[in-house]
Structure 1
Amino acid sequence: MLHHVFVSYSRRDSAWVDALIDELVRRRVPFWIDREGIPFSVPWRKEVEDAVQACDLFLVCDSGQWRASRACAEEASFALSFGKTRQEIPVGRDVGVAAEQVAPVWAEAVRRHGSATELAVKAQEWHASGRKGKGLASWRLRRQFEALRKVRKPSSVERAYLAASRRRNRRRAAASVLLTFLLLVTYLSFRVAPGVEDEVNRRLAEQAGRYRDARDAIAIVQDDPYRGLNLAAELGENESAADADILEEALAVDVPDDAFVLPVAGRHFADPTVGPRVRIVGQDGTLWGRNTDDRARRQAFRLSGDATVQPAEDVTDPSLSLVWQANSSRIRVLREDQEWRTVNLTSTARAAQLSPDRRWAAVATDAGVALVDLFRGTVRDLLRGAPAPLTDLAWADGGDRIWGLTGRSVVSWDVTDGDVLLDRPDEWFQDVLPASDDGQVWVTSRNGTMRLLERASGDVVRTVKVKGTLNYAAADDDGKNAAVVDGDNSRVRIVSLSSGRSNAVEIPSDCTPWRPAYSLDGRTFYLPCQNNEILVVDVESRRQKATIRVPGLGTTAVALTSDGNGLLVGTVGGNVYSVGTSSGARPRLLLQVHCRPQILDIATAPGSRILPVGVGTGLSGCTQAAHADGDGAYAWDAFIDSPPDSVLALGAAYDPSGKAFAIGFSDGTVVLHPSANIQPRQTLAHISGGVRSMLTLPAAGSGATGSDLYIATRAGTLIRIAWCPSCLSNKAMARVARQRLRRAESLGLYEPPPASHAPTATTRNPT
């Protein structure tokens, strides 16, 4: 909406403001008012900024509460930066009189500044949409905008918008002349055109057919995972995006990697969790089993002993339970007999079991086994490939495997992604930091605890306690010092990682600090403040030695460039800047992410690769990665991840070579990409809790090669995943598909048809 009054007010004055709004409505004065709560969220803050830019009059409902409000001050700063006409009306004044004062001021503001407002908004929208043809000014409107040059100097974006509009107007003016010429050319080329048209149509049909085949193949994967693997196994000869889509879908479906059969139909598992031996009670009351590590054995053996189900022991949270009704697709999660989560499934629940650590629930349905993350109450994965719907489930003692029973068949899925180095269910892990010893790593917790771990075993070597909440942390590359941020109280401390001593760093009162970044030599760290500043802090003296200012509103992320000679800065508005490390350095805008999300983390890699992530990551237009394109310029590639339950990414990392990168989302999803082609990607859906940060380190140990990705989660886990950039290709994924098919054949779940060497389903539409 353009040409309105923006109403800035304190929520404590809402009663008076509502009455004023009624009076403005009677006088047909258009208005925009923020009804959201305080503090408003990052996306909503952007809505507020846009509304201020689009208004012609900024109306202040003046009161003591308004002057004390930080949100109102931010709105006022928007109005000041956009040069808006400002009018102040004291709260408590007769609303009729107030409205009479507002109406003429607004009308005059529209007359004097309306065209300037419209130009600013249209130019910004055109810039945010990628500077495409849509939204350019018509000939008449452009002349009106260009007349503004006499009274104000247009911004760089406005100048570019007017120039693009002028070029389009000229092209349209020439269209009538060109039309006659084109008709003549078309007539003279009549005999040649059919051949050219046939070739174009042939290529278009070939391309359309390829994507139609990919769409059909994905439908097959959704119908039958093994037929999908059959299709995927035949691919890999090229790195096409269509083939990548098929491979991603086929390998995203988890199928059993272990199975055996019973001589009789099974009734249920004999134990609440499975230890060294999986035991099943038959329908006739007999007891059968198999050693869990004897994966070559395909037949259960008879066991002696009591066939009654044993009670669960050492349960992490005995107050947690699952409740559902027969023929219902809704699962209720109770905590201390009170409803805590409600999970809606796509099909009827047949059986359900809580994981030993009480982070997950496995629910057997007609469609497969739904893996529910109890932290969020959402289905994170669907385990398929069983020969029929399951009637009972059991978790392994360690929570790394799920066993299922159907008739005479017992199947099992591995539900781990990486190695769990540290598990503290009652804590919220925040950051992973390098240590002075290459065989160790630090992990921080929001409760102020910092732990030093052995990377090989996960054993805790030392613990350091820091006062207050630990919202963000960063360490120098040598692991000597860490800068920790208590964002709740706007405090920053430097912690000696060798002695554990910490000392406060004085920062300005208007600085809301975010995650810092250290220089390569460790003598300086850079602290982003949401007031558009980056504080340059000397580690030895613990004093601010310089300030770097960044345009726009809100500096929320900072990272060193890959060569360490500069900084990359992300903002609330989705801007990414490069800037020198000295005071007074002038920032250079590298990119404005199209949907203008808040940037919360920036990953870098050799080859000048840049990956900014934050609010909206995964959505179309919100996720872009860059690589150097010569002469200091960058080429930006947009892509879509769109994980199932989150569009907020709090962590990102490259492997040391820069050939692959990872994005960690707030629902726990981690997506791995090849840097060159972006696809095929690998989605890790078995990490509980939200990803808070990531760190790449060379593999530890003598003679070790490769590198590892460390992931800290809100659920109190530290996960290690081995980097494998070469695994992220169509050729490599097709090889994995063939391996899964061979394994399915050896398990007796599927057998190859007589006319083919590729395994196919022995049952129709396996779950």
Structure 2
Amino acid sequence: MAEAFISYSRKDKEFVKKLYEALKQQKRDIWVDWEGIPSTADWWKEICEGIEGADNFIFIISPNSVASEVCAKEITHALDHNKRLVPIVWQYSEDVHPELKKINYIFFQESNDFEQAFQSLLKALDTDLAHVKQHTRLLVRALEWDQKKRNNSYLLEGSELEEAEQWFTQGAGKEPLITPLQQEYIGESRKAQKVRHRTRFIALTSGLVISTGFAIVAAIGWKEAINQRIEAQKSELRALISASDARFTSNRNTIDALIEGLKAGKKLKELDKVQVNILDAFIEGLKVGKKLKELDKAKADIPIQEQQEVMKVLGQAVYWVRERDRLQGHSNYIQSVSFSPDGEAIATASGDKTVKLWDKQGRLLNTLKGHLDQVLSVGFSPDSQILASASLDGTVKLWKKDGKELQTFKKLNTGIRVVSFSHDGRILASGDDDGIVRLWNIQGQELKMLKGHTGTIYSLSFSHDDQILASASYDRTVKLWNKDGKELKTLDKHDNTVTSVSFSSDDTLASASLDRTVKLWNPDGKFISTLKRSEQQSSPIYSVSFSPDGQILATGNNDNSVTLWQKNGLEFTTFTGHSSRVNQVTFSPDGRTLASASQDKTVKLWQIDHPWQTILSGHQAGVNHVNFSADGKALATASDDGTVKLWNQQGKQIKLLKINDYKIWDANFSPDGQIIAAVSSDERVVRLWNRQGKLLNILLKHSDRIHSVSFSPDSNTIATASQDKTVKLWNRQGQLLNTLNHSATVYSVTFSRDGKMIATGSNDGIVKIWNRQSQLLNTINHNASVYSVSFSPDSQTLASAGGDDRVKLWQLDGRAISSLDGHLAGIGQVTFSPDGQMIATASDDKTVKLWHKDGTLIITLTGHTGEVNGISFSPDGKTLVSGSKDGTAILWNVENLTLDNLMGRGCDWLHDYLANNSQGQSDRELCDGVKTQAKY
């Protein structure tokens, strides 16, 4: 097998020859297409096999290679098989494939030292050498197995299988990533080995019937075999955990991450019962005596840590998946996707010259053939009965919903890029490569030609009253036309090709461009604002679409992602998972689903609202504290941006309290819900507000910063913890009642639920318990800085969290109950669920953990990209909110967090995909026997 495949443009052949000779001198086996493709061979097949059989994919970057269709196909094939990419710059070009941009270039330009660059190349080729070579070996074996109709004789056995499973486990997350085919190949190999073991069990069982003496001998052999099987399944479980974690890290929004998590969950359940089932049948059938019953001790003993890892990887997949379904079947890129207005069908248009019709569950209904070239646009009539398609063959075709061709419009001498129905269904607009917009009636008569653009038309959009038509062009402009075809205005603020236009329900116009921006305009063409992603995430934009209610804007990007924006320009989430650029995005009529059509030959259907998680975006800096109101109808978030935001249960912002320019460290509702108390970083005061945002009072007595504020259960007393080493008690009118003293900064203060006690935690590691008369009842040494204290609902247990990465549970007399260990960094907050059955912890390790009250871990919630500073349970205990330094708060559904429940949630989510679009039989059977909930 070759060490590297070189992809290059023939125009750069001289440089490639020089590089090739240098590599040959180092005894490196290199695959280049001038070497060894027989003249009679299937050229592209040989290219593909060359890529598949090489450890690395070297791409020679130059304007020539970037423009080459063959090079683009080679990159796509390499990406499809997760080959390690090594980009070499021969002549610099900006427009390289986004996957190459993610990797450090090796510069071989004429101005660079060739030898120095060459050493960098050798180092890159030798990095993780064992992992890369095994990746290639297993890829070639897996492809051969697949090509041989998955004949079992091509599967791995014995030590080969063990080595592959070890590589699978240890290689999770490493580049090149493990491919789905490799994973399936290893899994099927393990499955076949299980069958062989079962055959061995039968043979052993037969021997047992002969005599008791033989039975004991056979039992020993059986025990060895069953232990081997259990160990093999444990190995498979560990591999699945690693695979799921790796999938989540790379693309947390996709179905793939959820499938891997479900596989891990299913494997854990299998292991939990495998020994019982086999032993029961064995003992009942053969009635071996006491000696064989001892084998019951061989039950699969899964370490608690691995059980917890399964819950973590399954949980993160269930909470973060956004891809609901995937449409697969086109043999070339998909340029366009459209929902029927009645929401019952989806149409896709592809470079394979076809249009495909799907039902809303993702089942393929029809393939519409008739175009002679690539189909670039598709759209439904308002009554959902007619489908229009536009092609580079110069025609527009109309089709019935059942797939029957109705009509072909007059053939043009130029390719047609886009077609769009007016909202009343009477007019069809088309845009072509000559820069002309044409208006047609449904009978195919050309009504008007709108001339004015000087380049290809890429997108058209009618205003909702059909009075205005917007067109987007290669000439970097958007033009507005009235219904009579008169040009009204030219919008020329973009600096590159305008790829897409979309009117919102209130006729705000959005335009997207290769200049990496979206611009918003009034219907009369007056500029409103520019939407732009951060410099790190900036990418050319190929499509823009408003949700039906006009509140969300979606963009399809060149970096393979989909971005969602609020109408005010705030970017609030990004979906990743496509392996090539996103050509078009469009919302379903109900606004719940977003479809993205990609160069990777798939359409992904993303669910906008998640039944088990809601992300609150809107703060311009980190979120330090979160708190539910006692009635559960409001949520407060306190941020470094100097604001407190109030949100409703659905995650919609309902009030903004602008405190000052300082960081807001804490904000809490009074239990009666009438007051919000907030403290900030550089002040020594507490501000009290009502829920309408009116400032009621300012409490002034501390001599240094205040870190925490808390209300008594009756809402009449307010406690504040300060850097001045004191806790102060106030009435709600602002009168100071008492002062509690510590010997160091006090970070946390809380009241017991019965209102009889106060707990305080300080930087010197001391926790103090006081009665309401401010008398010290007990002192507890946590032995590390205490950042948070919390009473259980029955007021019998106290939890303290600190800088030692652990939570300690205490009886009120100071005796230790247990320690919650597992976080990898300091814990900023601990809190009990309202029923006292769970404990939640928020950590600087970017995770939230949920624990049983006895201290055993239930689940780790991952996904925040910054330290988690605050957590709060809803009054009914079904929802947990977490606030993070990443600027977001997340609402998590934490009801009934069991393995069965998580698997039920996951299988509910995957129902349509597994039924209609899953590629492997093992995946389709994944949810067999799993009890689902179907609440979505």
Short-chain TM bin: 0.3 to 0.5
- TM-score normalised by L of structure 1: 0.44
- TM-score normalised by L of structure 2: 0.37
